[in-house]
Chain A
Amino acid sequence: MDSLKHWMLGPQGSAYANDVDVLYMFLVWLSVFFFALIVFLTVYFAWKYRRRKEGVLTPNISHNLALELLWSIIPLIIVMGIFFWGFNDYVRASVPPNDAIEIHVTGKKWLWAFEYPDGTRTIGNLHVPVNRPVKLILTSEDVLHDFYIPSMRQKTDVIPGRFVDLTFTPTVAGRHQVFCAEYCGKSHSDMMANLFVDSPEVYEKWLIEGDPELQTMPPVEVGKMVYENKGCNSCHSIDGSKNTGPSFKGLYGRVEKFTDGTSITVDDNYIVESINNPQAKIVTGYEPVMPTFQGLLRIPEMRGIIAYIKELK
C-alpha cells in the first residue's frame, strides 16, 4: 500500500505532506469503489438486459423517490465530509508559526532569487534548516509565476506587485525539487530551483561561507556551476546556438556590436558590467530582457563565471 502511495505521489518532505497524502489515498479508494460500482452496474444491466428480440415492450419504471433520495443524500454526506477534511488541513498548513524563518523569494523570467534574514542572497538554491517552520514571502518582478515544492505538497502563485506567503516545515533532509507551476513563457519549464534541507549546523555554516564547494573548486568548475544553477543557461547557450541572449561560446575576446552603434572587445570588465547592469549595452539582434544580478554573486562566483566563459572557445 505504501509503495502505491509512493509511486503515485512521490517523496514526502514534511509531516503535512503525509496529511495530504492520507486524504489523497482516501479519495483514491473512494473513487475506485464508486467507479467499480458504476462499471459493475453498467456492464451488468447492459448485458443482462441485452436485446434478445426486436420490438418488445418494456416495463414503465419512471422513477423511485426512495432510490433517488438515496443516491443524492449519500454522495452529499460523503462530499461534505471531504470538504471539512480538506479545508481543515488547508487552514492548518496556511498559518505560519511565530518562530518561522522568513525568507524572501523573487520570481522573474526565468529564475528564483532568495534573500535570507541575514542578508545572504542566492539564486536557484534555497537552503533551510530541517524541522523548523519556514515562511516564504514571495513576489514577482514581471508576470505571474508559481512556487511549487511537490515534496511539501505546497504551492502558491507569485504575483507582481503583491506579497504572498507559503509555509512549510521540512522534516526530511536533502535536496527537494522546486518548479514554476504558473505558465510564464519561453523557459517556464526550466524555471526550477533546488530546496536544500540542511541540519541546523550545516545551515548556519552555509549562511556564513556559502556553498562549501566554492572554497576548493577550480574557478572554471565554479563558473560552470554558477552557469547551471543561477539561470544563465535558460538564455545563454554554450554551443554557439542563438537563444534569448548571446551564446557564451567564443564570447571572450570577441568584438560585440551594440544597438547604440558602439562596440567592444569582450573582457572581464564587460562581463561584470553585463551581469550587474545588463541594460547598459545591448548586443544587436537581442532584446533587453536580462534582469540584473547585482549583489547576487559572491566574488569567487563572479571569477568563476569569467573563467568559464574564457574556457568556452
Chain B
Amino acid sequence: MADIITTPHISGHADHHDVDYLHDGKGLKSWLTTVDHKRIGVMYLWSILFMFFLGGVFAMMIRLELLTPKETIMSAETYNKVFTLHGAIMVFLFIIPSVPAALANFVMPLMLGAKDVAFPKLNLFSWYIYMAGAFIAVAAMVTGGVDTGWTFYTPYSTTTDGSVALMTFAAFVLGFSSILTGVNFIATIHKLRAPGMGWFDMPLFCWGIYATALIQVLATPVLAITLLLLLMERSFGIGIFDPKLGGDPVLFQHFFWFYSHPAVYIMILPGMAIVSEIIPTFSQKTIFGYRAIAFSSVAIALVSFIVWGHHMFTSGQSQLASAIFSFITFFVAVPSAIKTFNWIVTMYKGSVAFNAPMLYALSFLLLFGIGGLTGIFLGAVSVDIHLHDTYFVVAHFHYVMMGSTVIAFLGGLHYWWPKMFGRMYSEPAARVACALVFIGFNATFLPQFVLGSRGMPRRYYNYLPEFQALHQASTVGSWILGLGFLIMAGYLFASLRKKMDAPANPWHSRTLEWQTSSPPITHNFHEIPAVGGGPYDYYRPVGNGRNA
C-alpha cells in the first residue's frame, strides 16, 4: 500500500509481540492450539501439500497404467479405485482448500491491515474439521477404497461395494470446513479492513476470495444435503435416486452439479485472484481495469449457480433445459475474456521482471487461455454430445483445474513463500521447475484433447490399440511434470533449512502484507495501518516519502 499513514503509537506492545509468528511459542502444542491466522494458514498449507502429494502419486499411477492397453501395473478394480481417489483427493482435500484456507488465510488479513480474521477460534476449528474429514477419507481408502469416481453417480454408488459411505461422509465433513472458512472470510472483509481502506482500495486478491467465499457459503450446503440423501439411500434403502426403490438417478446429477459447478469457480476464482496480485507487482504497474476485474469475479460467482445443466447434455434432461443451460454457459466467456485481456494489458508500459511467481502467472495466462477456449467447444450442445465423457473433457478441466488453479497456487506459493517463512528459495532452480511443470503439463494434457475428439471415453482401464501412441505421449509428459515437482520440493525444503534471509518486501510490492517484516510478527503490524490510496499505485513514489 503506497500510503500507510502511520498513526502515532496507539498502545504499547509487550515484548513478545515483536517476535515473528514462527517463534512466538514453541512445540507442537503451541501450534495445535494457536488462533493466529498465519499459523493456521501454515498448518493448512502442510496438510494440503501432503494431500497434493498423495493425489499426485495416484495420478502418476493412472498414467503408468495407461501406458499399455489392458493390465500394465494393476487390475481393473484397482484402477477404478485409483482414479476415484485421485479425483476425490485433488478436489475435496487439495484444490478447494488450497488457496482460500492455506494462502488466503495467511495473507488476506495482512492485505487488509488486520490483526487476524474475524473469528480466529472458528478458523482453528475449520482446520480441525478439515483434518477430521481427511482422516475419514484416508480411513475409507484403507478399508476397501471407493470405485465410484469422485462424482458418486447413482445408482452405481448406492450399489457398489467398498467404503462409499465413509468417503461420502468425509466429503460431507469437509464441506463444513469450507463453509466455516467462507463465513469467516466474508466477515473479515466486511469488518476488518484497515481504516481508510474502502471496498475498491482492497487488493483484487480479496475480491476474488470474497466471491469464492460467497459460493462456499451458498453452494456447499447443497452438497451436504445431496451426500446425506445418498448416505440414507445406501445405508437404509430409502429410495431417492435408485429407480429400483422408486428414485430418480438423474435427480442426483442435478443436485450434485448444483454444487459442483459452482465448486469449479470455488477452485478457479482464487487462482485468478492470485494472478491479479502477481502481475501488477512484477510489472510494477497499476492493474488495468480494477473494477472490471473485481466485478467480473462477482459476475462469475453469480452465473456459476445457473449453468450446472451443461454437465448433463447427454443425461436425458429435456432438450429445452439443455438449450437454456448452453445459452447461459456462454456468458461465462465474457468475464473470463475481460479478465484475461486486463491482465495482459497491465504489462503495457510496465517494468516486467521474470521471477518465478511471474513465470507462473504468465504460464497461467496461456494455460487458462487454452482451458477457457476449449470450454467453448463444450458449451456448444452438438459438439458437446460428441465430446462429453471423453478425454477432451478430461483435458479441458485439467487445463482449468491444474493448468490454471494449481499453476496460480504455485505462483502464489512462490510469491508469498518469503513472507510466510522468511526465506528466499533458489531462483534458478525455481525457474527450471516452472519450465518443467509447464512443458510436462502440456505434454500430458494436449494429446488428451485429440484422444477425446477421436472418441476415447474417459475412465477407461483398457483401450483400443489405435489410441496407444497418444496415451504414451501423455504418460511421458506426466514424468516430466513429476520431475518438475520433485525439484520444487527439493529447493523449497532446502530453503527452510537456511537462516532467515528474506527482506520485508523482496518484490517491491505496494500491498500491505509486504509492509511488515518477513515473517510477520504475531500481531501482523506494529501499528494498525491507516490507508490512503490504492493497492497498485506504482505510478508514484513509495508512500509519498511518508513510509518505507
Q: Which residues of A contact B (CB under 8 A)?
A: 7-10, 19-20, 23-24, 27, 30-31, 34-35, 38-39, 41-42, 45-47, 49-64, 67-68, 71-72, 75-76, 79-80, 82-83, 85-91, 93-94, 142-144, 146, 148, 150-151, 153-157, 159-162, 164, 177, 179-190
| Chain A, Cβ-Cβ closest to B247 | A161
Q: How far is the CB of B311 from chain A (nearest CB, A)?
A: 11
Cβ–Cβ contact B284 & A58, under 8 A: yes
> What residues of chain A lie closer than 8 Å to B541, measured between beta carbons?
57
Residues on A with beta carbons closer than 8 Å to the beta carbon of B539: 57-60
- In the complex, A56 Cα to B285 Cα: how many Å? 10
Whether the Cβ atoms of B156 and A45 lie closer than 8 Å is no
CB distance from B407 to the nearest CB of A (A): 14
Given contacts A24-B453, A156-B314, contact A185 B80 (CB under 8 A): yes
Find chain B residues with CB under 8 A from A80 CB: 330
Pairwise interchain contact B349-A58, C-beta atoms closer than 8 A:
yes
Q: Are A9 and B453 in contact (CB under 8 A)?
A: yes
Task: Choose from A39, A93, A156 the contact partner of B366 (Cβ within 8 Å).
Answer: A39
B residues 316-362 near A (Cβ < 8 Å) are 316, 319, 322-323, 326-327, 330-331, 333-334, 337-338, 340-342, 344-345, 347-354, 362
- Known A-B contacts A186-B80, A189-B463; the reply to A75 vs B333 at CB < 8 A is yes
Q: Using CB atoms and an 8 Å cutoff, list the residues of chain B in contact with chain A.
A: 76-77, 80, 147, 149, 153, 155-156, 159-160, 243-244, 249-250, 283-286, 288-292, 314-316, 319, 322-323, 326-327, 330-331, 333-334, 337-338, 340-342, 344-345, 347-354, 362, 365-366, 369-370, 373-374, 376-377, 379-386, 388-390, 450, 453-455, 457-464, 508, 537-541
Q: Can you report 24 A-B residue pairs in the complex whose CB atoms are below 8 A from each other? A: A19-B382, A23-B383, A41-B344, A46-B347, A49-B283, A50-B354, A57-B541, A60-B538, A63-B288, A68-B342, A76-B334, A79-B331, A86-B381, A90-B381, A94-B319, A148-B455, A153-B386, A154-B386, A155-B388, A159-B315, A179-B455, A183-B458, A186-B80, A189-B460
C-alpha gap A30/B377 in the complex (Å): 10
Q: Judging by beta carbons under 8 Å apart, are A189 and B353 in contact? A: no
Give the nearest-CB partner of B387 in chain A. Answer: A24
Q: How far is it, in angstroms, between the C-alpha of A71 and the C-alpha of B343 when the chains are bound?
A: 13
CA distance A199 to B248 in the complex (A): 40
B residues in contact with A88, CB < 8 Å: 382
Of listed A30, A49, A53, A93, residue having the most chain B CB within 10 A: A49
Contacts of B250 in A (CB 8 A): 159
Is the pair A90, B352 in contact by a Cβ cutoff of 8 Å? no
**Is A27 touching B76 in the complex (CB atoms < 8 A)?**
no
Q: Establish whether residues A82 and B379, one from each chain, have CB atoms under 8 Å apart when the complex forms.
A: yes
Please, how many angstroms separate the alpha-carbon atoms of A60 and B280 in the complex? 12
Chain A neighbourhood of B347, CB < 8 A = 42, 45-46, 49
Q: Which residue of B lies closest to A41 (CB)?
A: B344
Question: A171 CA to B379 CA in the complex, in Å?
Answer: 27
The 4 closest A-B pairs by CB, nearest first: A150-B455, A161-B243, A86-B380, A60-B539
B382 touches A45 (CB 8 A): no
A159 to B317: give the CA distance in the assembly, Å: 11
B379 touches A89 (CB 8 A): no
Q: Which among B80, B373, B540 has the greatest number of chain A C-beta atoms within 10 A?
A: B373
- B340 engages A38 (CB within 8 Å): yes
Report the nearest A residue to B322, measured CB to CB: A90
Q: A8-B454, A42-B362 are in contact. List 20 more A-B contacts (CB 8 A).
A: A23-B380, A24-B453, A35-B369, A45-B350, A46-B354, A49-B352, A54-B508, A59-B539, A60-B538, A67-B345, A79-B334, A80-B330, A82-B376, A90-B322, A144-B155, A146-B457, A156-B314, A160-B155, A161-B249, A185-B160
Q: Complex Cα distance A20/B330, Å?
A: 18
Instruction: Tell which of B315, B365, B459, B538 touches A157, judged by Cβ atoms closer than 8 Å.
Output: B315
A38 to B290, CA, bound (A): 20
Q: Are A31 and B374 in contact (CB under 8 A)?
A: yes
Contacts of B342 in A (CB 8 A): 68
| Contacts known (A49-B352, A164-B316); A148 close to B457, Cβ less than 8 A | yes
Asked if residues B389 and A155 are in contact (CB atoms below 8 Å), the reply is yes
Q: Which residues of A contact B366 (CB under 8 A)?
A: 35, 38-39, 42
Cα A49 to Cα B285 with chains together (Å):
11
Determine the residue in chain A with the shortest Cβ distance to B242: A160
The residue of chain B having its C-beta at the shortest distance from the C-beta of A184 within the complex is B156
- Check A146–B314 contact: CB distance below 8 A: yes
Is there contact, CB below 8 Å, between A154 and B385? yes
Instruction: Return the contact of A71 from the options B80, B338, B369, B454 (Cβ within 8 A).
Output: B338
The answer to whether B365 and A38 have CB atoms under 8 Å apart is yes
Select which of B283, B316, B508 is within 8 A of A156 by beta carbon.
B316
The distance from the CB of A124 to the nearest CB of chain B, in whole angstroms, is: 15
Partner of A162, one of B243, B348, B352: B243
- Residue among B76, B243, B330 making CB contact with A160, cutoff 8 Å: B243
Taking CB atoms, residues of chain B closer than 8 Å to A42 are: 344, 347, 362, 365-366
Q: Specify the chain B residue showing the minimal Cβ separation from A52.
A: B351
How far, in whole Å, are A72 and B457 apart by their CA atoms in the complex?
A: 35
Give bound CA distance, A79 to B383, whole Å.
14
Q: Which residue on chain B has the smallest CB distance to residue A45?
A: B347
Tell me the complex Cα distance, A29–B389, Å.
23
Complex: how many Å from CA A184 to CA B255?
20
**CB pair A90 B153 closer than 8 Å:** no
B464 neighbours in A (Cβ, 8 Å): 177
CB within 8 Å for A183 and B459 given contacts A143-B159, A164-B316: yes
Check A177 against B450 for contact (C-beta < 8 Å). Answer: no
- Bound: A257/B360 CA distance, A: 63
CA of A67 to CA of B155, assembled, Å = 50
B314 touches A157 (CB 8 A): yes
Residues in B neighbouring A64, C-beta threshold 8 A: 288-289
Residue contact B386 to A150, C-beta cutoff 8 Å: yes
Identify which of B351, B373, B388 contacts A51 (C-beta below 8 A).
Answer: B351
Min CB distance A16 to B, Å, is: 9
B76 proximity list for chain A (CB < 8 A): 186-187, 189
Beta-carbon contact of A50 and B352 below 8 Å: yes
User: What is the bound-complex CA distance between A53 and B352, given in angstroms?
Assistant: 10
Instruction: Return A90 CB to nearest CB of chain B, in Å.
Output: 4
Given contacts A38-B344, A185-B80, A188-B461, contact A20 B383 (CB under 8 A): yes
Taken together as a complex, chains A and B put the C-alpha atoms of A274 and B231 apart, in Å, by 35
| B274 CB, nearest partner CB in chain A, Å | 17
**Chain A residue contacts of B385, Cβ below 8 A:** 20, 90, 93, 153-155
Q: How far is the CB of B545 from chain A (nearest CB, A)?
A: 13
Q: What is the bound-complex CA distance between A21 and B78, given in angstroms?
A: 36
Q: How far is the CB of B472 from chain A (nearest CB, A)?
A: 17
Contact B354 A10 (CB under 8 A): no
CB–CB B379/A148 < 8 A: no
Whether B349 and A59, one on each chain, are in contact in the complex, defined by CB atoms closer than 8 angstroms, is: yes
Of the candidates B149, B288, B462, the one whose C-beta lies within 8 Å of that of A190 is B462
